[in-house]
Amino acid sequence: MHRVVVLALDGVYPFELGIPQRVFGSAGDRYEVVTCAVGDGPGERSVRTSADFVLTATHGVEALATADTVVIPPYEAAMSAEPLSAPAARALALIPAGARTVSICTAAFALAEAGLLDGRPATTHWGLAARFRATYPQVALDASVLFIDDGDILTSAGAASGVDACLHLVRKDHGSTVASGVARLCVVPPWREGGQAQYVEMPVPEPSAACTAATREWALGRLAEPLVLADLAAHARMSLRTFARRFQDEVGMSPGRWLIQQRVNRARGLLENSDLSVEQIAGRVGFATATSLRHHLHAAIGVSPQTYRRTFRAAAHA
């Protein structure tokens, strides 16, 4: 069983602290998730949170030496300007060389302070980007994305992007079917690209009895059909203009772009879990030709269908 060890540092945010257990723990018996804190005895495993309570971890930092994956949740933003404490630095040194290490939000500061991100791409919360760049110029920071997977180190932005990062690892380990099942249990979107923007400034839509959610659900069941904007608007019983505006307000992208994204995601699942040819997959997800599928998949993740299939299956069976 793959062991995930969560390291809670002083000032930890409780919401993010619970993400690894909630996500990996929803994948059946595929993962064992334990939480540890700096300290040698039970009385010294108490962790001050960013809220008005203190938590006590069951395990000490020695658990890190047994980890296949280490997840470090974020801690209070003000503390990211402070040097890493000596006990925390010693704890990070216990992470095995072959383990994956995941940071959420401000935890990227801890990894950078320990020198683990030198010369590597990384991300953190967009609001802390200036401080991070000034403090760690040796790190190739990209604060415009949700998460960055650099092999043995994965860094993610704030709050909900920690869910995205953990789901990404479940998908990488066990495929889209398992990851989608975990997402349904957690009632979260099954997939958001790591390169998706952290923060898109747009107005909150006005409350309305008419929304596009039912039409999106309807469209997901008909991706193989040649759906166009007029079909979606007709199902929603709205004019083209009204539907396009409300869709953009609710989803943050145009209907056409959303359809392409859903078709690419469906194609990825079929590449991962079936032996269908690229031509057959293109037809099943609504792309007119295999060439169209290749174009859109490459635009989304930078590889061809065959390369994606080989790479994914090699990673899943590693």
Answer whether 75's CB lies under 8 Å from 107's CB: yes
Q: Residue 291: is its pLDDT beyond 70? A: yes
**Angstrom distance (rounded) from CA 204 to CA 314:** 42
Q: Residue 19: is its pLDDT beyond 70? A: yes
Among the listed residues 177, 159, 153, the one whose alpha carbon sits nearest the alpha carbon of residue 70 = 153
Q: In the chain, what are the helix, strand and coil shares in percent, each to the nearest 5?
A: 50, 15, 35
Q: Residue 289: is its pLDDT beyond 70? A: yes
The residue behind tokens 């998949």 is: 297
Answer whether 179's CB lies under 8 Å from 35's CB: no
pLDDT-derived band of residue 80, with 50, 70 and 90 as boundaries? confident
Q: Residue 92: is its pLDDT beyond 90? A: yes
Q: From residue 45, how far is each of 1, 34, 61, 65, 161 by CA, in Å?
A: 25, 13, 9, 17, 27
Cβ neighbours, 10 Å, residue 106: 28
**What pLDDT score was predicted for residue 52?**
94
**What pLDDT score was predicted for residue 73?**
97
pLDDT-derived band of residue 155, with 50, 70 and 90 as boundaries? very high
**What pLDDT score was predicted for residue 302?**
80
Answer whether 32's CB lies under 8 Å from 2's CB: yes
Average per-residue pLDDT for the chain:
89
**Winning range, highest mean pLDDT, from 32-46, 120-134, 207-221:** 120-134
Among the listed residues 189, 154, 131, 183, the one whose alpha carbon sits nearest the alpha carbon of residue 72 = 154
Residue 234 tokens, joined: 């007709």
Q: Residue 176: is its pLDDT beyond 70? A: yes
Q: Residue 138: is its pLDDT beyond 90? A: yes
**What pLDDT score was predicted for residue 217?**
92
Lowest-confidence region among 12-16, 45-49, 151-155, 205-209: 205-209
pTM of the model: 0.73
